[in-house]
Structure 1
Amino acid sequence: MARFALTTITAVSLAAVAAPAAIAGDTRPDGGRSAENVALENEMTPELDATVTRGLEWLARNQNPDGSWTGGSRYGRHVGITALACIAFMADGHIPGRGGYGDNVARGLDFVLNNMTETGLLARETSHGPMYGHGFAALFLGEIYGMTGGGPDKAQASRLYDALLRSIRLIVQTQNNEGGWRYNPVPYDADISVTICQIMALRSARNAGVDVPIGTIDRAVEYVRQCQNPDGGFKYQLTSGGSAWPRSAAGVASLYYAGIYEDDAIERGLDYIIQTGMPGRMMRQSAHYYYGHYYAVQSMYLAGGERWEQWWPAIRSELISLQREDGAWDDPHAGQAYGTSMALIILQMPKRYLPIFQK
């Protein structure tokens, strides 16, 4: 993953479009298996494959006719949850026009695009905390553009390109003076939970060839650094003091996706996450379980080495054990579509299809 090299929002360079990562079975020119695919075979198991298959089938069965997925009773048909469901399919290589669930992704994309406002906000009118959903949806647009270049339909490609640029422009314009983002698209307040959603969207857009103002990233990094506590964990806002592992995972991921890969703040953050959030420590009913592990697995993957080797088998086993008989995972706050999407994205990280997960 290249470090940010950013100037201003201009155009997308198709030469920068990422190709999907190699998958198991690919070989070197000499006929041998690549080291990457040997690692993939060790990380994926038949039990995991079956778990993912059931989860994807559940998502497909529960897509609404308008292309959306529904969150818990609080959320309704939600742009952000729809984006995450589509990313879960894309993590298995399904994109519009390719793969058994390509049509599900295409219909989800239409729903997301149909819910962009004149300001560039990706959210339904009734959305709670719309910048959460906007961040996930903008990430989805960046990933699908990065994997397809917009596709063969020129009109649809132009629509996707325009929506991606507008969604990123909104993120840039709504950064507050502390360097972060908050629930609503106004530069007033900030918290680390919403901030990571926007940083990942900016990273994805950059990977797809969109230039992003360097000042936006610099201010975001400064905000994240100021949120770190002496124990290595991260607080929710600059004015609220306690550390917790889910938002600490978000803090570490924020630094990685801002282009910082070797830093004392990352090392201390990773140590805090392992000490307080390691899978298997009976935290399955804790608040923000799927949210926390979504960022934690990314942080451990980007850290690599012993941390990844320790973390991956533990979260893989725990999530497999939490799957319901019907194929879903249930998040008590945001509902089954959200929990299932998050679990599937986590479990498919080793496939490395998504540009955002390619080192």
Structure 2
Amino acid sequence: MKPHFGEILSSSPPSLRSRPGNLRGNLLSALWFLFIAACFVGSLSHCQVASAQTQTTVPSPNARSFEARGHEFITPETQKAIDRGLVFLANRQHDEGWYFANSYKRNVAVTSLAGMAFLSAGHVPDRGPYGKKVDKSVEYILSCVSPSGFIKRDDSPEHGPMYGHGFATLFLAEVYGMSPKPEIRESLKSATQLIINSQNKEGGWRYKPDGRDADVSVTVCQMMALRAARNCGIAVPKTTVDNCVEYVRKCQNADGGFRYRLGDRPMSEFPRSAAGVVVLYNAGVTDGRDLERGLGYLLRFPPRQDLIPTNNHYFYGHYYAVQAMWHAGEENWRQWYPAIRDELLARQGPDGGWTDLQINDVYGTSMACLILQMPNNLLPIFQR
């Protein structure tokens, strides 16, 4: 039996595109909701969701009902927080499409995550209140694609260029089919091929696309991009996915968490462990001992401010943890999401943003908006 949130908390201090969630808020009218629904349905002509290991199956009635009811978790207070967060992001975008984000300005990862935050609210390129913002982000990312397919901006500081490349590739895959720009597909293909070509012999990736080393965190970022690209019909070899899954499995520790790299001492941490669980789900692993142990580890750290410090990759960890609980099923989701939702609402700043001490507030706000909007179920990469 899979562990669930309630058991842990009581003892310690998707698939084909589904219909969009309820787009509420003052900015979106009922007519706009119908228009966005048509846009997402129309994008099916471009994107096909396919598992890297298994054939697509029709969800059970209970699964469909669970996904359809997701919007019920977005309370009026939550929608208000999301709206304020999107205003915060919109006000910090440069005319070129990148974001004013302290030392990380012009960063492709930050730009891509902000773009995805708008997409998660139903805003598509050139359509809707923030459509222009999305389109500018797309234009900026396309301008950063090199002839080799590497998505990088040399004059922007970053923790590791493959992080930026992975998130930018993911963003292009999510916006593909929503924009008429023909260059998106070619850029997505070349970016995907660069990931495939740079996988190291262990099955993972690290900071540079040279195939010399690997760690769990960067590996998960590339795997998410590959899955999103495959959803859009871009060819991804099965061996690439299989080798990635094998690498992640080998990094799992006895306590269910994940170490940073093969060969490191077996020390687990919540952020990368959440990422490790999500990559298994996205690779088509839906059950088994690895997932049970991984979920068991995550459930030792329910959303509570005294358990996960804000300077320990807080937003990164919960970005993946909320996806893990969405995949894990309704019982865990019904207890995990309200907890992280309420915690994020309490942490929102007066200006509508969320503070991240390690990267910047644009990054923190983008991640918070993505977490809060998971129940919208609009982005294919998050669907069960």
Question: TM exceeds 0.5?
Answer: yes
Question: How far apart in 2 are the matches of 1:181 and 1:352?
Answer: 29
Aligned to 2:110, what secondary structure does the other structure show? helix
> What does the per-residue CA deviation read over 1:178-208, in whole Å, with 9 as the maximum and x for residues that have no partner?
0000001110000001011100001111111
Partner residue in 2 for 1:47: 77
Map 1:131-142; keep pairs closer than 5 Å: 131-142=162-173
Distance 1:38 1:223, change over 3 A: closer
Match of 1:95 among 117, 124, 128: 124
Partner residue in 1 for 2:223: 199
Partner residue in 2 for 1:7: none
Aligned to 1:261, what secondary structure does the other structure show? coil
Whether 2:287 is the aligned partner of 1:258: answer: no
Aligned to 1:233, what secondary structure does the other structure show? coil
Question: How far apart in 1 are the matches of 2:211 and 2:71?
Answer: 45
Match of 2:111 among 82, 88, 93: 82
Partner residue in 1 for 2:268: 243
Contact 2:120–2:379 under 8 Å retained in 1: yes
Map 1:117-128; keep pairs closer than 5 Å: 117-126=146-155, 127-128=157-158
Question: How far apart in 2 are the matches of 1:248 and 1:72?
Answer: 28
Contact 2:71–2:376 under 8 Å retained in 1: no
Question: How far apart in 2 are the matches of 1:315 and 1:177?
Answer: 37
Question: How far apart in 2 are the matches of 1:56 and 1:328?
Answer: 9
Distance 1:297 1:170, change over 3 A: same
Whether 2:99 is the aligned partner of 1:69: answer: yes
Question: How far apart in 2 are the matches of 1:109 and 1:330?
Answer: 25
Equivalent residue pairs, number = 329
Instruction: State the 1:41 CA deviation.
Output: 4.1
Match of 2:357 among 329, 332, 337: 332
Partner residue in 1 for 2:314: 289
Partner residue in 1 for 2:208: 184
Question: How far apart in 1 are the matches of 2:314 and 2:327?
Answer: 20
Partner residue in 1 for 2:57: none
**Uncovered stretches (5+) of structure 1, i.e. residues with no partner:** 3-17, 28-33
Q: Read off the aligned partner of 1:254 and give its amino acid letter.
A: V
Distance 1:50 1:284, change over 3 A: farther
Contact 2:311–2:357 under 8 Å retained in 1: no
Partner residue in 2 for 1:10: none
Match of 2:234 among 185, 192, 210: 210
Whether 2:294 is the aligned partner of 1:269: answer: yes
Whether 2:378 is the aligned partner of 1:353: answer: yes
Contact 1:91–1:345 under 8 Å retained in 2: yes
Contact 1:300–1:307 under 8 Å retained in 2: yes
**Bigger CA drift: 342-351 or 299-308?**
299-308
Instruction: State the 1:20 CA deviation.
Output: 6.3
Question: How far apart in 2 are the matches of 1:308 and 1:292?
Answer: 16
Question: How far apart in 2 are the matches of 1:144 and 1:90?
Answer: 8
Q: Read off the aligned partner of 1:47 and give its amino acid letter.
A: E
Question: How far apart in 1 are the matches of 2:217 and 2:71?
Answer: 33
Aligned to 1:24, what secondary structure does the other structure show? coil
Match of 2:90 among 57, 60, 63: 60
Whether 2:166 is the aligned partner of 1:114: answer: no
Aligned to 1:255, what secondary structure does the other structure show? helix
Instruction: State the 1:98 CA deviation.
Output: 1.9
**Uncovered stretches (5+) of structure 2, i.e. residues with no partner:** 1-13, 24-32, 35-63
Question: How far apart in 2 are the matches of 1:309 and 1:70?
Answer: 36
Cα RMSD, aligned residues only: 1.8
Contact 2:126–2:134 under 8 Å retained in 1: no
Partner residue in 1 for 2:369: 344
Instruction: State the 1:35 CA deviation.
Output: 3.8
Q: Read off the aligned partner of 2:166 and give its amino acid letter.
A: G
Instruction: State the 1:255 CA deviation.
Output: 0.6
Percent identity among equivalent residues?
46
Whether 2:102 is the aligned partner of 1:104: answer: no
Aligned to 2:199, what secondary structure does the other structure show? coil
